[in-house]
Each structure stands twice: as C-alpha cells, then as structure tokens.
Chain A
Amino acid sequence: RASWLSGKTRPMEYRVAQLEALGRFLDDKKQEILEATASDLGKAPFEAELSEILLCKNELHETLNNLSQWMKDEHVNKNLVMQLDSAFIRKDPYGVVLIIAPWNYPIHLFLVPLIGAIAAGNCVIVKPSEVSKNTERLVAEALPDYLDKDCFAVVTGGVQETTRLLENKFDYIFFTGSPPVGRIIMTAAAKHLTPVTLELGGKNPCYVSDTCDVTNVARRVAWGRFFNAGQTCIAPDYLLCTIEMQEKLLPALRKAISDFYGPNPRESPDFGRIVNDKQFQRVQRLLGSGRVAIGGQTDEAERYMAPTVLVDVQPSDPVMQEEVFGPILPIVVIANMDEAIDFINSRERPLAVYAFSSNDKVVSQVLERTSSGGFCGNDTLMHVTLTSLPFGGIGNSGLGLHHGKFSFDTFSHHRGCLKRGMGWESLNAPRYPPYSKTNFGIVQATSKVTRKSDCTLL
C-alpha cells in the first residue's frame, strides 16, 4: 500500500516497462512453465503453449499496442450551457488489487488479469493456487525477478492463508474459481466495500441439432471437452441432442478421440491428467451416472481417466448436478430444440452456451432464447481467444468481465470530471435562488435534452 501511495505505478512508462517485463517472463521461463504445468496437470506441451503462453502474449500485445489510447481522458458530449467547459472521463487506478487464481490454467488465469491491473496503474498482489504446486512455486520464485518488488507481490498459501489475506482491505478483488468460494470472496469484500470481478463456472450446455455435419461437430466438441482433461471452465459440460443424433454422434466421437489421442489415450502425450486425488475421486464418482458408451477406464495412481462419453443420463443423475470439470461428456437426450432450450433455461445460467447446426436459424434461436456469459455457435472455446470480446459470467457463473480493453476498464475507476471557467457567471444566474418561473424557463431551455423529433432552436 505504501508503494501505491507513492504514485509509482501511475506513469505510462512505468506500466509499459512492467508489462514488457511480463513478456520477458513468458519468453525466458517458457520451458519452466511447460514443465511445471506438465507436472501439475499432465498438460500437453501444445496445450500449455497455446493457453499459457500464446494467449497471454496476445493480451500483452493488445494492451501494449493500445495502452496510451486507453489511458487518455475520454471527452464527452455536453449540453448547450456547458459548451465552454471541458467534460471528460478520467481513468484512475483503484490502488491495491488482489488477484486470486485457480489451478486449471495456472499461469493464464493470473497473468491475464495481472496485465489489465498493471495497465490500469495499480499495485497488485497475486495469489496463485496452492493446488497446482509446481506452478505456484515457479511463480513465487520467478515473477519477483521480473516485476518491481515494491508494487507487485506473490502470496502463497491455502484456504487459511487466503482467509487471512481477505481480512485486509483491497481496492479491487479479482477472483477465478467456484461459485461457493465466489460467495465467500464477495462477502469478505463487502466488509470493505471492495468491488469485485468473479469468474466462476457452471454447466455449459452444448446443443447439437439434427441438421449438422456430424464429423465436424464431433471433432470440435471432443476437442473442447477433452482439452486439459476436461478441466476448463468453458468446456462443453454436457450435450443435448435427439436419440437419432446421439446414434450418429457416438461413432463420430469415437473416431475423433482416436484421431486425437490414438487408440490408447493414456499413452498420448497430448492428453492431460486430473490435478489431484481429491478431484480425481470426485470425477470418478460421476462415472456411475448413466452408461459408459466410450472410454471409462481410469488409473488412480496416474490420476488418469480416459476420454469418456456417458449415455442414458437422467437430469437427476450425479453427473448432472455439478460442473463435471473432467474428461466426461454426458449426453442428455431431448426431443427437439425447444425442449433443449427449456432444459437449459431451467438451470443456473452458465459461463458459455454452445449450439451446433448447419441451419443459421437454429443457432440464432438458441442464442436469443438462452442467457449465458458467452456464446459460441458451431464451435467450442474459441470465443475466448478474441481479445476484443469480453469474457465473464452471469448469475451463478460470475459477475464482471475482462480480456483486452475490458481488463483495463475493469481495473480502472471511471471518474466523471467537469472543468468549468470562473467567468460567464451571469450564465449561472438562472439556477440560483430566489427561484422564479422565468429563471426556471431559462434553465430548462438550456439544459434539457430534446428528442430529435421535437422542433426546437437547439
């Protein structure tokens, strides 16, 4: 906090220098990052390079390219009486920001918000997840070498340490994790009136209509579901389709899985593992729902679970009661699109909704009649790779958003500013007491907003 009060983090040159240092961190430590995430999650190097390095660099470049523009005061329209004044929105940093990251994309999920927080001129405390131990260690050891130690710190620890950390006053808290913990964070923030952004989760439905290219759908869905062994907040959580489509999808899914991971995914370097025993046991319990149509093999020692597809799944089954967050794709059979939409709408609003159809109208219908953080038609996951799209949840899946400029806006206070002159005091006369009807008429005429359809001198 002392560093924050010194104003060190505010000048643009400082922010740019810190951001560029982050870029060097990603370049220098690339190998270490790939290794750490491989030990923590069995993350395939390709996946790790894509999500932990490439996408982070995208955000970095987007921010560095546009920072000076984003930082500028935004001048706004004024009414008649203020034509001589200057009205603008100033982007002020909040102060000391806390970023709490989860274990599934352990670099990406702290680095991307960190970029926004630094860009907006804040001091930041990063709390990486203790569950992804190796990455946590890497970040705690290496990051301070790149960033200004006074203004940016890494704090490690588990639930107890985090609880104590939250007793401190922060000026903004950014949390990525589960809804129950999100509630705890927000409640703690309320004590200090600290604004928050919560990136949570949910069960992301994936509707597949009867008119579609089954092969392509199967590949895109399988890719999204089994990426990072299913431990992705925006992964398609469950599939909704008719029984006829299910019969066509199963062989297509089998082929996609085999194309991706070979006949024995356990031996593929591209398929990940569950992060720890607790999660493994949780996901394993979900295998009891419905019937295993594809996969189902597990190895507890390795925390390996094969890419699995469940059929004959009932809405009341365990696998439909919680976010799967594992390499299991349950298929729930519905009769038609309307039923699918009703099914989706009867549950908490998810982070993402997916709809596959070669009929544009079907995709539009699902989009218009459901509500979710984001939406992707005819693919999975891809909407979050565009830095120009906001990323955030709604309802149980979260509040607030970030990525690209939205990160900068999230971590800055938009301050309405008006600079007036001391002269022309006579123009102010109509607003002062003693009040009178004539004066009032003048005030009304000079300050009101008229509809374009009204005819006035203005």
Chain B
Amino acid sequence: MERMQQVVGRARAAFRSGRSRPLEFRMQQLKALERMVQEKEKEILAALKADLNKSGPNAYSHEILGVLGELALTMEKLPSWAAPQAVKKNLLTMRDEAYIGYEPLGVVLVIGAWNYPFVLVMQPLIGAIAAGNAVVVKPSEVSENTARLVAELLPQYLDKDLYAVITGGVPETTELLTQRFDHILYTGSSAVGRTVMAAAAKHLTPVTLELGGKSPCYIDKDCDLAVACRRITWGKYMNCGQTCIAPDYILCDPSIQSKVVENIKATLKEFYGEDVKSSPDYGKIVNQRHFKRILGLLEGQKIAYGGETDEASCFIAPTILMDVSPESKVMEEEIFGPVLPIVTVRSVDEAIEFINLREKPLALYVFSNKKQLIRRVIAETSSGGMTANDVIMHSVVPALPFGGVGHSGMGAYHGRFSFETFSHRRACLIKDLRWEVLNKLRYPPGSMEKMNLAKLLLLKQCSKSRVAQFVSALLAALKAVVAKVSFVSLLSL
C-alpha cells in the first residue's frame, strides 16, 4: 500500500537528514516520552482496562512503572553507552586509534503484542530512539484501545516524521513487512516469528524475535512449598495467564502434588477472594478466539480446582489440572491462559530430561532449598532466561538481557541490551599516513625475514600501560632496524 511506503519513506528521509543522531536530540525525545507517560497515565490505564480488564495498580506496575524505569535508566546511561569504546591494540597498531563506534542502524520496525500492549511497544521504542534510529511502531490490533491510543499520543509528543505508528491487522502487517527496514523487533508467537524472519531475509534485515514456549516450573520435594506456591500463583495468574514468561506447567514428584494444589488454592483465595469473578484484580481472556482455544485445552483433563468459565465476559477461573499426561493437548502448545497443568516426575533427572526433550522455552523456573540442584538444572538445560525460587523476576532486573533461544526467540533487549540491539558496532582504525616504513614488512616481495618480523609485531597484544610505553621506545629502535633490513633486502635484489 502506498501509505506504508510513504510512512517508511518519510522515516527514512528523516533519518537521512541526520537529526536523530545527536545525543541531545535523542534525550529530548526520550524526555518527551517520559512526559507523555506521566501526563497521559489515566488514558493509558483506561485503554489497558478496556483491552484486558487490567486493574489500576496491576496495570501501572506491569506496564507503566517498567516504562518509566527504562526511560530513567536509558537517559542516565545513554552518554556512556553511546561513547566510542577504545580497544586493545597490537604492537603494529600501537600508534593508531582503534575503537568501536556505536551507530544507529536506520529505520527500525517494532511490532508489539497484545498481552502487555503498552510496555511491549514502548520498551523497544525507547531503545531504538536511544540508539539514534527512526522507528515505525506497529501495535497489536488485538489490543485495539491501546493501539489507538499509541497512534494518537506518539505524534503529539515525538518527532512526527522520525517516529510513526501504523495500525492494522494481518494484511497491513504483511504489507508493512515487504518494506525494507534496518532492524525488526517482533514480539509474538513462534509461528508468526518465522514469517517475520522470512520476510526480513529478503532484505537481509537483522531481527530480534521475542517469542514464546512452554516455560517449565520444577518444584523440588525439598523446598518451602507454601512460599513456592505463592510465588508461582502470582506469576501464573497475573494478566489471566497471558504472560510470555508465566510458568506454563509444573513438574513435581507425585508425593507433593496434592500439597501443591492445596497451597495454590489457598493462595488464590488470598489473592482474589472467594468469588474470583468479582475480584477487581483478576483479568480476562483477551478475546473469544483465545477463550475457545484455552477451553479446548481443558477437554479430558482432571480438574483439581477451578474450571468455571463465562463466554460472554471471556472469563476463565484460575484452574489447576492434576496428573496431566505429557501427550495431551494442554502440553503441546503454550497455554497463555489461567490453566496450570501438573505433570509428575520422579526425580530431577526425569524433570531435566523432560524439559530437554522439548523446544527451548523462554523462561525456566526451579524451586528448591538445595543450591546444588539449582546449579544442576541451570547447567543441564537451556532457556531464554530463568529464575530460581521465584517466577518472572529475572525479566525485571534491568541489567539482565531479555530474550529467547531456539523456538522461544533470538536476540535480546532491555536496558543496555536494547541500545546494543538497535546499534551497529562499527570497527574503526585510524592510522597515520606517515610511518610508511613500518608497512614495508607486509608488502611484496615476500621473504622469510619479513614474515618473522611480521609475526613479532602482529602476534602480540598490549593495552595502554607502562609496558606499552617501554615497547613504544623499543618500536622506534625496531623501526630503525627494519629500515635497515628492508634497505638491505632491496640492495640484495
């Protein structure tokens, strides 16, 4: 569609003008974003409530607090992140300038998801702006109120040409993906992730894919079950289970299965009261399609708790399934809903084997008092990220990279990782046009003595230090020797 081409074309032209590069400009835009979040807090919360029935404090803490934190961190650190990084040199390059420069990539595309519709668009946007790029944002059409709000608000606060919002569904996104971008960050399902990467391949566009999977949660017999179940309950049922890093299913010994169920039940009552449906803190399934999908997963399962649903309001009660078979439907796809299957395993060995037979998940959780067991689980499995003795929390440590591996994704962001993801690290070597005599070593005609000297000068590395200064003096002496050698070899021709 022409409109897409125009929007992307405008962003590219704006990028080419160079105005997004100076740090002052980027800081200014980030500050404007901060103002937007602070001034329009009410509108943002209202949109989140309309889309996902997210309650005020819940929405604020999951979506707005995170964004403000990221903005503060980025504005604080940007000067140091963007500064060129000097690197170690070898003897031959000691007199030269060698460093890595951080440069913007160009026009970045951010495709958001519907489950945390505000933060999943804002956090990448912050990193992309900080790195000096132009950005096209495509919020999820499923969370339509937030999408509409983002489309209205961004142009009011940010440079209209550099940062654009495109709304729409699958046809619009497909069209958008035919345009050329310099980086695409996509949050969503593995299936669509493949499509995005294939489209990006046509333009050799690098991608960051934040996908999903079934995040396992292993509960060891030796652990404080009450605390463990509390934390798991919190992470599983927040946003009605629609969290990419929610503990998807539990692995535990059959002897503790009933206790686990009891503890989760008790915690649920504590969190949401006797009548979950009327709790202001419990969310809803985003739409009918997903409601029906999750309902389908319950077929033939032993429901230990919950299971009540109400199609009209897309309500599914917090549900626990017991003695789940690994081959059942609920164990085949990412649940993304308030249904928690428990699969029994007889040992941590079995648990590790179970996990490794499946696709690498976005997150992995293990609860145990035994440090050695935790260390083993980390060492013998692979996942995007992990938390021991809690859930979700590794994603809120700003200094940890957030990303998947295998089917759960590629690349990472958050904090400085966002900045790096959206930057090009350019190797820069600035030499002097003089000191040509040092180069004689490498020029033809080749010779044994030249090779030996070359080995001496290239094979060592030294950093700026007293040693380097000493060697510098040595180098000057060497220069004289080299000149003599070359002169001699010229003479002997």
B427→A394 contact, CB < 8 A: no
A389→B100 contact, CB < 8 A: yes
Q: What CA separation (Å) do A3 and B412 show in the bound complex?
A: 28
Please give, as numbers and ranges, the residues of chain B lying within 8 Å of A94 by CB-CB distance: 405
Using a CB-CB cutoff of 8 Å, which residues 56-74 of chain A contact chain B?
57-58, 61-62
Using a CB-CB cutoff of 8 Å, which residues 97-113 of chain A contact chain B?
none
B443→A219 contact, CB < 8 A: yes
B426→A373 contact, CB < 8 A: yes
A62→B57 contact, CB < 8 A: no
In the complex where A260-B443, A270-B446 touch, is A418 in contact with B394 (Cβ < 8 A)? yes
Q: What mask results when residues 403 to 420 of chain B are scored 1 for a CB within 8 Å of chain A, else 0?
A: 101110111100000000
Please pick, from B105, B393, B434, the residue contacting A420 in the complex, using a CB distance under 8 A. Answer: B393
Please pick, from B281, B389, B425, the residue contacting A390 in the complex, using a CB distance under 8 A. Answer: B425
Q: What CA separation (Å) do A373 and B61 show in the bound complex?
A: 40
In the complex where A413-B405, A447-B396 touch, is A433 in contact with B279 (Cβ < 8 A)? yes
**A291 at the binding interface (Cβ < 8 Å):** no
Please pick, from A57, A58, A62, A418, the residue contacting B393 in the complex, using a CB distance under 8 A. Answer: A418
B388→A191 contact, CB < 8 A: no
What class of interface size applies to chain A in its complex with B?
35 or more
**A46 at the binding interface (Cβ < 8 Å):** yes
A50→B424 contact, CB < 8 A: no
What class of interface size applies to chain B in its complex with A?
35 or more
Q: What CA separation (Å) do A425 and B227 show in the bound complex?
A: 7
Q: What CA separation (Å) do A375 and B105 show in the bound complex?
A: 16
CB distance from A268 to the nearest CB of B (A): 7
Q: What mask results when residues 217 to 236 of chain B are scored 1 for a CB within 8 Å of chain A, else 0?
A: 00000011001101100100
Please pick, from B230, B399, B446, B455, the residue contacting A425 in the complex, using a CB distance under 8 A. Answer: B230
**A321 at the binding interface (Cβ < 8 Å):** no
Using a CB-CB cutoff of 8 Å, which residues 253-270 of chain A contact chain B?
259-262, 268-270
Please pick, from A186, A357, A437, the residue contacting B197 in the complex, using a CB distance under 8 A. Answer: A186
In the complex where A391-B427, A415-B384 touch, is A440 in contact with B401 (Cβ < 8 A)? no
**B211 at the binding interface (Cβ < 8 Å):** yes
A416→B431 contact, CB < 8 A: no
A422→B228 contact, CB < 8 A: yes
Q: What CA separation (Å) do A401 and B427 show in the bound complex?
A: 10
CB distance from A311 to the nearest CB of B (A): 23
A415→B385 contact, CB < 8 A: yes
A182→B458 contact, CB < 8 A: no
Q: What CA separation (Å) do A244 and B231 show in the bound complex?
A: 75
A448→B69 contact, CB < 8 A: yes
B426→A372 contact, CB < 8 A: yes
A217→B433 contact, CB < 8 A: yes
B401→A356 contact, CB < 8 A: no
A417→B443 contact, CB < 8 A: no
Please give, as numbers and ranges, the residues of chain B lying within 8 Å of A390 by CB-CB distance: 100, 425, 427
Please give, as numbers and ranges, the residues of chain A lying within 8 Å of B284 by CB-CB distance: none
Please give, as numbers and ranges, the residues of chain B lying within 8 Å of A399 by CB-CB distance: 204-206
Using a CB-CB cutoff of 8 Å, which residues 316-368 of chain A contact chain B?
345, 356-358, 363, 367
Please give, as numbers and ranges, the residues of chain A lying within 8 Å of B400 by CB-CB distance: 76, 87, 89, 416-418
| A453, closest chain B residue (CB) | B76
In the complex where A223-B443, A373-B426 touch, is A451 in contact with B75 (Cβ < 8 A)? yes
**B262 at the binding interface (Cβ < 8 Å):** no
Please pick, from A212, A219, A389, A394, the residue contacting B98 in the complex, using a CB distance under 8 A. Answer: A389
Which of B85-93, B286-294, B474-482 binds A?
Answer: B85-93
**B256 at the binding interface (Cβ < 8 Å):** no
Please give, as numbers and ranges, the residues of chain B lying within 8 Å of A9 by CB-CB distance: none
Which of B6-14, B44-52, B111-119, B375-383 binds A?
Answer: B375-383
Please pick, from B90, B271, B405, B409, the residue contacting A92 in the complex, using a CB distance under 8 A. Answer: B405
**B374 at the binding interface (Cβ < 8 Å):** yes
Please pick, from A10, A216, A375, A415, the residue contacting B383 in the complex, using a CB distance under 8 A. Answer: A415
B230→A432 contact, CB < 8 A: yes
Interface of B, secondary structure class, is: mixed
Please pick, from B55, B197, B395, the residue contacting A193 in the complex, using a CB distance under 8 A. Answer: B197
A259→B443 contact, CB < 8 A: yes
Q: What CA separation (Å) do A252 and B276 show in the bound complex?
A: 85
| B367, closest chain A residue (CB) | A422
A171→B406 contact, CB < 8 A: yes
**B2 at the binding interface (Cβ < 8 Å):** no
In the complex where A394-B105, A415-B386, A435-B55 touch, is A213 in contact with B455 (Cβ < 8 A)? no
A58→B459 contact, CB < 8 A: yes
18 new A-B pairs (CB below 8 Å) besides A260-B445, A416-B384? A54-B455, A58-B458, A76-B397, A189-B197, A212-B433, A213-B436, A216-B433, A216-B434, A375-B427, A382-B431, A416-B397, A417-B388, A418-B387, A422-B223, A425-B227, A432-B270, A437-B57, A449-B76
A interface with B by C-beta (< 8 Å): 5, 7, 10, 44-47, 49-50, 54-55, 57-58, 61-62, 76-79, 82, 87, 89-90, 92, 94-95, 171, 179, 182-183, 186-187, 189-191, 193, 195, 198, 200, 212-213, 215-217, 219-220, 223, 259-262, 268-271, 345, 356-358, 363, 367, 371-379, 382-392, 394-396, 398-401, 413-422, 425, 428, 431-437, 439-440, 443-444, 447-452
- A-B interface, 4 closest residue pairs, ranked by CB to CB distance from nearest: A46-B446, A416-B400, A76-B399, A186-B201
B interface with A by C-beta (< 8 Å): 16, 55-58, 60-61, 65, 68-69, 72-73, 75-76, 87-90, 92-93, 98, 100-101, 103, 105-106, 182, 190, 193-194, 197-198, 200-202, 204-206, 209, 211, 223-224, 227-228, 230-231, 234, 270-273, 279-282, 356, 367, 369, 374, 378-380, 382-390, 393-403, 405-407, 409-412, 424-434, 436, 439, 442-447, 450-451, 454-455, 458-459, 461
A–B complex contacts, Cβ < 8 Å, 20 sampled: A76-B399, A76-B400, A191-B198, A193-B193, A193-B410, A216-B434, A270-B446, A363-B430, A379-B439, A383-B428, A414-B412, A416-B386, A416-B395, A416-B401, A420-B387, A422-B224, A431-B234, A450-B72, A451-B75, A451-B76
